[in-house]
Amino acid sequence: MIKIILADDHCLVRTGLRRLIDDIENLTVIAEADNGNDAILHVKEHQPDVAILDINMPGLDGIKTTEILRRDYPELKIIIISMHSDELFPQRLIKAGANAYLTKDSGIQEITHAINEVMASRNYICTEVAQKLALSNTGGNGASPFKSLSSRELEVLGLMIKGLKVADISDKLCLSPKTVSTYRYRLLGKLSVQNDIELVKLAMQHGFIEESPLP
Residue 40 is part of a domain; what is its CATH number? 3.40.50.2300
Last residue of a domain, one of 93, 109, 137: 137
Number of structural domains in the chain: 2
Per-residue pLDDT, 140: 47
Per-residue pLDDT, 154: 80
Averaged over successive runs of 10 residues, the pLDDT of the chain (215 residues) comes to 94 91 93 94 97 87 91 96 73 87 86 93 80 52 70 80 84 87 90 85 69 47
Task: Say whether both 28 and 130 belong to one domain.
Answer: yes
100, 125 in Cβ contact below 8 A?
yes
Cα-Cα-Cα-Cα dihedral of 37, 42, 48, 51, to 10°? Answer: -30
Per-residue pLDDT, 151: 74
Residue type, 29: V
Task: Say whether both 131 and 170 belong to one domain.
Answer: no
Task: Say whether both 113 and 187 belong to one domain.
Answer: no
Task: Say whether both 57 and 17 belong to one domain.
Answer: yes
Asked, for residue 73, whether it belongs to a domain, the answer is yes
Per-residue pLDDT, 141: 47
Instruction: Please provide the size of the chain in residues.
Output: 215
Does the global pTM surpass 0.75? no
C-alpha angle 109-114-116 in degrees, rounded to nearest 5: 95
Task: Say whether both 162 and 131 belong to one domain.
Answer: no
Task: Say whether both 157 and 132 belong to one domain.
Answer: no
Residue type, 21: I
Cβ–Cβ contacts within 10 Å for residue 143, how many?
10
Per-residue pLDDT, 42: 97
Last residue of a domain, one of 112, 137, 162: 137
The Cα–Cα gap between 91 and 76 comes to 19
Task: Say whether both 41 and 129 belong to one domain.
Answer: yes
Task: Say whether both 152 and 201 belong to one domain.
Answer: yes
Last residue of a domain, one of 137, 156, 172: 137
Asked, for residue 210, whether it belongs to a domain, the answer is no
Task: Say whether both 70 and 126 belong to one domain.
Answer: yes
- Phi, then psi, of 140 in degrees rounded to 5: -65, -30
Per-residue pLDDT, 138: 41
Task: Say whether both 42 and 128 belong to one domain.
Answer: yes
Provide the domain limits for residue 62: 2-137
Cite the DSSP H helix spans in 73-176.
88-96, 108-119, 127-137, 151-160, 166-173
Task: Say whether both 37 and 7 belong to one domain.
Answer: yes
Residue 200 is part of a domain; what is its CATH number? 1.10.10.10
Burial bucket for residue 11 (CB in 10 Å: 0-12, 13-18, 19+): exposed
